[in-house]
């Protein structure tokens, strides 16, 4: 027996869940379009769902962005889990970081979203921070355990570096630059034998 307050609740309808998922996928796609502008009606169309359904799931634009953002963070987390299982540690980490760059690069329209997020619930911020930190830890620890990655860089630190890389890259077509910086950093993380661990603070 589920112990909910007065009146047992039903389990959520299957079509509701499906439509919500569809909307998130559609939103991610539409907002990624180069235009930067995106109408909610376009999202509904893309999802092949009535506009009313969209509004029921996401009463406001902010709610929509919030959910999309969470969704992407979750996907990054899942990707980290997968990569930490299948590939060798260094390449796994590298691929995950690439995925981050790619995600940000293709989300032109997400700029607006990010602004809303930045001004929005700090709950969302801590959520994504925790989630991403954990994802990085997953990838990092394996490499450290295998002795191919240096052990003195904390997951939060790596995350901050990543954010810094994104932040520092302005203007058009910055993806190559960001990718290069990621590579440099990963290479640096590999220098566990020659340079020795824990040189400097």
Partner DNA sequence: AACTATACGGAGGCACCCTCCGTTTGTCAA
Partner DNA sequence: TTGACAAACGGAGGGTGCCTCCGTATAGTT
Q: Which residues bind DNA (CB under 7 A)?
A: 8-16, 19-20, 39-42, 49-53, 55-57, 59-61
Tell which residue, 107, 156, 122, 164, has the closest CA to residue 136: 156
56: left (phi over 0), alpha (psi -120 to 50) or beta: alpha
Q: Which is nearer to DNA, 53 or 106 (CB)?
A: 53
Least distance in Å: CB of 41 to DNA?
A: 4
Least distance in Å: CB of 61 to DNA?
A: 6
Least distance in Å: CB of 32 to DNA?
A: 16
Rounded-to-integer distance, Cα 31 and Cα 28, Å: 5
Q: Are 148 and 190 in contact (CB under 8 A)?
A: yes
Q: Which is nearer to DNA, 17 or 146 (CB)?
A: 17
Least distance in Å: CB of 123 to DNA?
A: 22
Tell which residue, 185, 83, 70, has the closest CA to residue 135: 83
Q: Which is nearer to DNA, 56 or 180 (CB)?
A: 56
Q: Which is nearer to DNA, 9 or 199 (CB)?
A: 9
Rg (CA), the chain: 20
């Amino acid at each position: 027996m589920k112990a909910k307050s007065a009146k047992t609740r039903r389990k959520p309808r299957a079509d509701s869940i499906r439509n919500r998922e569809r909307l998130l996928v559609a939103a991610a796609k539409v907002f990624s379009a180069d235009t930067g502008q995106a109408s909610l009606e376009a999202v509904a169309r893309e999802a092949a769902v009535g506009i009313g359904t969209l509004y029921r799931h996401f009463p406001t634009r902010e709610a929509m962005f919030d959910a999309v953002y969470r969704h992407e963070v979750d996907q990054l987390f899942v990707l980290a889990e997968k990569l930490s299982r299948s590939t060798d540690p260094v390449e796994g980490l590298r691929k995950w970081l690439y995925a981050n760059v790619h995600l940000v690069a293709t989300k032109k329209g997400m700029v607006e979203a990010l602004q809303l997020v930045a001004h929005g619930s700090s709950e969302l911020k801590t959520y994504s921070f925790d989630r991403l930190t954990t994802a990085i830890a997953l990838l990092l620890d394996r490499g450290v355990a295998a002795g191919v990655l240096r052990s003195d860089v904390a997951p939060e630190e790596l995350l901050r570096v990543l954010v810094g890389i994104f932040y520092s890259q302005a203007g058009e077509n910055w993806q190559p630059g960001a990718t290069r910086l990621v590579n440099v950093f990963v290479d640096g993380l590999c220098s566990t034998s020659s340079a020795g661990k824990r040189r400097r603070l």
